[in-house]
Structure 1
Amino acid sequence: MGNMHSGATNPLLEEFTRVLLELRWGDMDAYGHVNNVTQLKLLEEARVRALGSPTHSSDAPTTPGQHGVSDTVSGVEIPTIFADASATTELLVASHAIEYRAPIPYRTGPIAVDLVISEVRPASVTVGYVICEPDGSRTYTVAETVIVFIDIASGRPRRLSEAETEAMESVLGTPVPLRRARR
């Protein structure tokens, strides 16, 4: 797999891609912690930063050394197949599984979202996540997302090419430990 972090640990994962995200005041709910719907948005933001934006050709550019992708993503380098396929392929979320293990309190400083590619199927990829403290001391949320590759012209699922499959399998990691068995 790709490079590891300098000192980053996660007790639930061996090798992973880490995305650091800042919380916003508006992410809190009436109970003073990050809302469950907002946590899904954090997973989406981390996924786009780690896997590449499906709209990268029209996205605002990031400047290295400022608050862009280069400062927030580390660890296993995930191949760019998601961004590369975007001209002919839609990447649709087919399902989410999410377990909220502890409330995320609002605070200054980033939260870590650690990602793994945990399954590669003929027309889909499963991404696992752990939202945790950057020092690995506390796990807040464990989740999975299945992303399906859809051919834009036909509107039907398309198989990953041999090169895409090989690229994803080269970074395949252990699935996140969801408490409920996958169906």
Structure 2
Amino acid sequence: MSDTRRHVFLRAVRFADVDSQGHVNNVRFFDYLEDARLEMFHLDLHREGETPFSGLVVARHEIDYRRPLTFRADPVRVESWVTEIKPVKFTLGYEIRDDETTFVRARSVLVAYNVERATPRRLEQHELDYLGRFLIAA
């Protein structure tokens, strides 16, 4: 059962994601996480009429492969939540799962980034407020 503070993104398992061993290739899971972040920090905010995040870079990824994920008709859920917020960075936790199985647990550190200056920046108040909606302390 999902915590309501988790962002949920449904991701189809594509045939192209599956390797010669019949399961989703380990590198493809990073695409799943990226798709979920794009939805969470840009597309959802556009749909809600809010300001999306203005520049984020990934500083770190950690991933634990729990069970093999094979090609299937039903999408998997990429559940994302915030575990820590600091002035210029925050940490996301993730699970890629269905109702019965957790396939992947992962963690990313994201840094607020000024694209024009190519330097880190402080998170803006609207960004901090949005992150707070998904905060589940580690």
What's the TM-score bracket when you normalise by the shorter of the two chains? Answer: 0.7 to 0.9
Deviations 1:30-50 (A, max 9, x none): 110000000111111111112
Distance 2:86 2:128 in 1: 8
| Matching of residues 15-164 of structure 1 within 5 Å | 15-53=5-43, 83=52, 85-86=53-54, 90-133=55-98, 135=99, 137-164=100-127
TM-score (norm 1): 0.66
> How far off its partner does 1:14 sit?
6.5
Number of residue pairs the alignment of both structures matches: 136
Distance 2:94 2:101 in 1: 14
Q: Note if contact 1:116-1:174 (Cα within 8 Å) is conserved in structure 2.
A: no
Runs of at least 4 residues off by over 4 Å? none
Identical positions, percent:
33
For structure 1, the 5+ residue unaligned runs are: 1-8, 57-69, 71-76, 176-183
Distance 1:45 1:161 in 2: 23
RMSD: 2.3
> How far off its partner does 1:166 sit?
3.4
Deviations 1:133-183 (A, max 9, x none): 1x2x111100011111111232111111334323322431133xxxxxxxx
For structure 2, the 5+ residue unaligned runs are: none
Distance 2:36 2:116 in 1: 28
Equivalent position SS for 2:8: strand
